[in-house]
Structure 1
Amino acid sequence: MDSYDYIIVGAGSSGCVVASRLSEDPEIRVLLLEAGPSMDDFWINTPAGMARLFASDRFNWRFKTAPVATLNGRQVQWDRGKGLGGSSSINGMIYMRGQPGDYDRWASLGNPGWGWNDVLPYFKRSENNARGSSAHHGVGGPLWVTDPVEVHPCAHDFITACANAGIPRSSDLNAPPYPAAGIRQYTIRDGQRHSAYKAFIEPVRQRSNLTVQTGVQVTKVLLDGDEACGVEVHQAGQRRTITARCEIVLSAGALASPQLLMLSGIGDAAQLRRHGIEPRHSLPGVGLNLQDHWYASFVWRCTPGSSVNHRLSGLRKYLEGARYLLTHGGCLALGAAPVTAYARSRPDAEVDLQLSLNPMSFSAGASGEVAADEYPGLSASVVLLSPASRGHMELASSNPLDAPLFHPAYFSDERDVRRQVAGLRLLRQIMQTAPMNTRVVEEIKPGLSCSSDEQLFDYLKQTGGTGWHPVGTCKMGNDEHSVVDAQLQVRGLRRLRVIDASIMPVIPTGNTNAPCIMIGEKGADMIRESRLAARSVAC
């Protein structure tokens, strides 16, 4: 029977950080388990390759939600990274933290130590920011945070149009004040994706006290009374047990961590019994509080000089590929839309919208692969950052290899409908504002005939999609539906923590990858503090 001091389940954005930081102590034996494979692949390392990964069964779990009643029964594909680096190996590489008020709200919900001033040092510690050290950014950390290798003039015009529409320019979207419009930063190093694995594990994988195993599906956390003592795993058709002398950390993400708790008999007792699972510890909040960002995109035909579509189609796309191979520059070295604006859905609201512009437009083919449109096109999206709707997830069966059932309940709160429709109108207004209005020839999708609130909401439902940010299913707090406390320990159990996006009580008003890395940094510190306090007793 294998035994380690710490077992981390999931080599994603949080798990890689936890494993890297804990293994800095040579006296600690750390095991990092990942269900997927190694992700050393050309299209994963190439920033623009993310579009190809939506259809990949090898590197993408490609979960699907249950039919969503509020979307007329649509099932939505939830792409999640399958392999080392987790979703940081297939995402848009956007480095956005949200706003300071997000974390102050976490603290106000019964989570001391999670306010903005508490978490900012952890954001800074992980960074090696190309802009240098400042009050809001760090240098010398493992994770490279860089500016786009090129910024199309159209992006600068979008920022100017935002300013003319009342949204001020910003030189740093990861620092207040807000509302603000500016250029994004990315987790890209020398023209290649810098995933959590590349940043935190690959440089230290030679450590003798760090073991990384792929192709290992954890099927259950083993309990001895109220204490976690090991995990049961499925690997190469065999089941085996691995024990932990100190702690087990679930970093499998907001979709898999609650599933693993339920499979281990931790959750709502009635639901567990329906699947023939013996309840071991009652925590009715496991799987509740599911939140996600929803977005919808517009597409415009534009003047030829306003788009890079011509560089990504026909023979020119091969020239662009050669350019990338020779220089790691050009369009293939770019992450998702380079410019964005934080905005309000109404003048008296908190900042609750993210508007992003891309100097290109795409369409999906019958195979699901995405390609640039043949005409000069621009695309822009609206994300509702602070949805009031709450969904849940549940087991589909007691088989750990069956995907759970996800019920995101998008737009189940009427306020979300009004705010996102207002965001679509605001985006149109900005595109009709100088200087962007000189670049736009025609709105292609949805078209100006789609103008009423009802028509715009129908468009949201029919063509919108997930922001790829599911969180909250093992929320941190002290109420009856909280799953972990402010130390990220599973409530009522010992030696078991959850450290990933599932612990977020409220979704950040931004992208979630940077917050997940911060959670990994802070969670690792909490484990080390507990170890120091208990060294004379247990560990």
Structure 2
Amino acid sequence: MSRYDYIVVGAGSSGCVVASRLSEDPSVNVLLIEAGGSADKFWVHAPAGMGRLFLEKSINWAYFTDGVPNADNRSIFWPRGRVLGGTSAVNGMVYVRGHPDDFDGWARLGADGWSWSDVLPYFLKSEANSRGASEYHGGEGPLSVSDPLIRSTTIEDYISAAERAGVPRTSDHNAPPYEGADFHQHTIRDGRRESAYTAFVAPVRGRKNLTILENAQVLRVVLRDRTAIGVEILERGRIRMIEAARETILSAGSLNSPHLLMLSGIGPAAALMKQGIRPVSNLPGVGQNLQDHWFAPMIWRTTPDSSFNRDVSGWRKYLSGIRYLLGRRGLLAISASQSAAFVRSSDKVGRPDLQMVLRPLSYTFDPKGAVVVDSFPGISAGLVLLNPGSRGSVSLVSADPLAAPSFQPNYLSDAGDAERTIAGVRRMREIMASEPIASRIEAEVLPGPGVTSDADILEHLQTVGNCGWHQVGTCRIGKDANAVVDPALRVRGIDRLRVADGSVMPTITSGNTNAPCIMIGEKAADMIRAHWR
């Protein structure tokens, strides 16, 4: 077919949900287009394989930012999934929704209908939590959310030490009080990664009204009289057009959705004309408001029994592999990011603004982005600033749709970001000096015991700090002149075109962004069906 009722661009965390839900109506035809192909690979299915996927070009866009002025002018590696499931097929599988005030804040900024009470039902709708249904969790949804199969005793000691240092122990990061230390839950089903594709699309792939087009890159949205009538795609070296009778929904992610809008003539008019693209709709906010989480990496050398490093290295890694193959158990069946403490950087902050992740293993990134497990027994932390003030942009550098745009995240450009993260490093050290975790620590390796002053910690943030790969905000919801989509996710000034992915977030959520992106897909599909009903 070359004509469908709905075209969904991008089979990622939001797009898979939109396509699955829209195709529940047998009277419509839905096309889901993905630039990549199958995710049926061992290291995609095995939760611990995340680190091996970063540089896997066959399933990864493998983007790099421009040099970041406040991060030692480094170009930061941004892995993004180019595969069925999108980035949910290569991420850390942590299931965190964020703080209720994140969404109430969206509503205050003009995103009517996106407050916490509005979005909670969509989180519940998606979720099949291993703990069962409750006021704050769904039990019958497509997406498996589970507790770790292995609960590291080192992490147990970290949570106890945090409690001794004044951080309350909690039993659920996704329920009140949204503050404290606990093990994470993950999108893992029976020892296998649960991506948006495996949860929402694979079980219904046999629907006659759902077509999935793999290895086809959308080049632009085709517009006629300010109306989206379809998309132009590149498939097997040939360019062709596919029509959308009702709507085109961009779910290509916070980096690719604004890129596609600009290639289609929707964006800042002066920048488009500079690249020889005729502006159809002057929307200066397209590509602006880029946000991401920045974190301070920390590593400690530990007693041998406190770290998983030796079990995932050398000859022992083969034993772990055998155990996983025989029963989907062992270290390959869990996520490395086992736990976190959600805390406040100071008493002046009204809610947690730091996510202090601890992992029972340690690793570093080489300059090309590859993950290298340390040769010594170690554990590592990512001290994540949840609500950054820094804002960046995605900019068009060429009218060639196969040329990546420019990414400038402007990490640490807001002075408060560094101040709060430095406070977090000190708080993390306080916890790690508390028992019972203190007895496991032999030495701080990174940033190191000599790094004590604010200036030294800031240098650590600038020269070694890294990102959370949680880019959002580049097609934000709103009612003002710089908003890209309205609260119904319709692109302003263009008919029959919506954006449904993390790019529509006005502000970044307080934690990992996969769960909120799935929620956005659920709510988008509901609004689209209601409109056409």
TM-score after normalising by structure 1: 0.97
Partner of 1:352: 353
1:43 partnered with 2:43? yes
Contact 1:99 1:176 in 2 (8 A): no
Q: Deviations over 1:246-290 (max 9, x none)?
A: 000000000000000000000110000000000011111000000
Distance 1:86 1:206 in 2: 20
Q: Which amino acid aligns with 1:240?
A: R
1:175 partnered with 2:175? yes
SS of the residue 2:212 aligns to = strand
Q: Which amino acid aligns with 2:303?
A: T
Partner of 1:343: 343
1:292 partnered with 2:292? yes
Partner of 2:456: 455
1:112 partnered with 2:112? yes
Q: Deviations over 1:441-490 (max 9, x none)?
A: 11111210011111111111111111010000000011111000000000
Partner of 1:529: 530
Partner of 1:535: none
Partner of 1:468: 469
Partner of 1:536: none
Distance 1:499 1:485 in 2: 11
1:25 partnered with 2:30? no
Q: Deviations over 1:48-90 (max 9, x none)?
A: 1110111111111110001111112110011100110000000
Deviates more, 1:429-438 or 1:90-99: 429-438
- Structure 1: gaps (5+ residues): 533-539
Partner of 1:151: 151
Distance 2:15 2:119 in 1: 18
1:443 partnered with 2:479? no
Contact 2:77 2:368 in 1 (8 A): no
Distance 1:463 1:72 in 2: 9
The structural deviation recorded for 1:363 is 3.6
Distance 2:260 2:406 in 1: 13
Q: Deviations over 1:416-460 (max 9, x none)?
A: 110111111111111001111111111111210011111111111
Distance 2:494 2:372 in 1: 49
Partner of 2:430: 429
Distance 1:328 1:374 in 2: 26
Distance 2:493 2:119 in 1: 25
Partner of 1:10: 10
CA separation of 1:304/1:144 partners in 2, compared to 1, >3 Å: closer, same or farther?
same
The structural deviation recorded for 1:296 is 1.9
Contact 1:342 1:352 in 2 (8 A): yes
Distance 1:365 1:374 in 2: 14
Q: Which amino acid aligns with 2:510?
A: T
Distance 1:465 1:26 in 2: 45
| Identity between Structure 1 and Structure 2 (%) | 53
Partner of 2:58: 58
Deviates more, 1:201-210 or 1:311-320: 311-320
The structural deviation recorded for 1:371 is 3.8
Contact 1:94 1:336 in 2 (8 A): no
Distance 2:370 2:293 in 1: 23
Contact 2:26 2:209 in 1 (8 A): yes
Partner of 2:500: 499
SS of the residue 1:351 aligns to = coil
Partner of 1:160: 160
Q: Which amino acid aligns with 2:259?
A: Q
Q: Please show how residues 319-398 of structure 1 align to structure 2 within 5 Å.
A: 319-349=319-349, 350-364=351-365, 369-398=370-399
Q: Which amino acid aligns with 2:421?
A: Q
Deviates more, 1:264-273 or 1:302-311: 302-311
CA separation of 1:360/1:251 partners in 2, compared to 1, >3 Å: closer, same or farther?
same
The structural deviation recorded for 1:374 is 2.5
TM-score after normalising by structure 2: 0.98
The structural deviation recorded for 1:364 is 4.5
Q: Please show how residues 276-287 of structure 1 align to structure 2 within 5 Å.
A: 276-287=276-287
Q: Please show how residues 130-149 of structure 1 align to structure 2 within 5 Å.
A: 130-149=130-149
The structural deviation recorded for 1:369 is 3.9
Q: Which amino acid aligns with 1:430?
A: I
Q: Deviations over 1:125-159 (max 9, x none)?
A: 00110011110000111100000010111111111
The structural deviation recorded for 1:367 is 7.3
Q: Please show how residues 226-241 of structure 1 align to structure 2 within 5 Å.
A: 226-241=226-241
Q: Which amino acid aligns with 1:64?
A: F
The structural deviation recorded for 1:39 is 1.2
Q: Which amino acid aligns with 2:253?
A: G
Root-mean-square deviation (CA, aligned residues, Å) is 1.1
Q: Deviations over 1:225-262 (max 9, x none)?
A: 12111111111111101101000000000000000000
Contact 1:2 1:242 in 2 (8 A): yes
Q: Which amino acid aligns with 2:238?
A: Q
1:309 partnered with 2:309? yes
Deviates more, 1:105-114 or 1:521-530: 105-114
The structural deviation recorded for 1:335 is 1.0
Distance 1:325 1:236 in 2: 35
The structural deviation recorded for 1:368 is 5.3
Contact 2:55 2:79 in 1 (8 A): no
Contact 1:248 1:496 in 2 (8 A): yes
Partner of 2:404: 403
Distance 1:314 1:528 in 2: 53
Contact 2:187 2:195 in 1 (8 A): yes
1:216 partnered with 2:216? yes
Distance 2:363 2:411 in 1: 25
SS of the residue 1:255 aligns to = helix
Give the number of aligned pairs: 532
Distance 1:114 1:196 in 2: 21
Distance 1:348 1:438 in 2: 32
Partner of 1:537: none
Contact 1:5 1:246 in 2 (8 A): yes
- Structure 2: gaps (5+ residues): none
Partner of 2:520: 519
Distance 1:226 1:314 in 2: 59
Partner of 2:268: 268
Contact 1:155 1:339 in 2 (8 A): yes
The structural deviation recorded for 1:373 is 2.2
Distance 2:120 2:153 in 1: 32
CA separation of 1:472/1:466 partners in 2, compared to 1, >3 Å: closer, same or farther?
same
Partner of 2:251: 251
Q: Deviations over 1:378-410 (max 9, x none)?
A: 111100000001111101200000001001011
The structural deviation recorded for 1:366 is 8.0
Partner of 2:479: 478
Q: Deviations over 1:272-314 (max 9, x none)?
A: 0000000011111000000000112111111122112221122
Contact 2:45 2:193 in 1 (8 A): yes
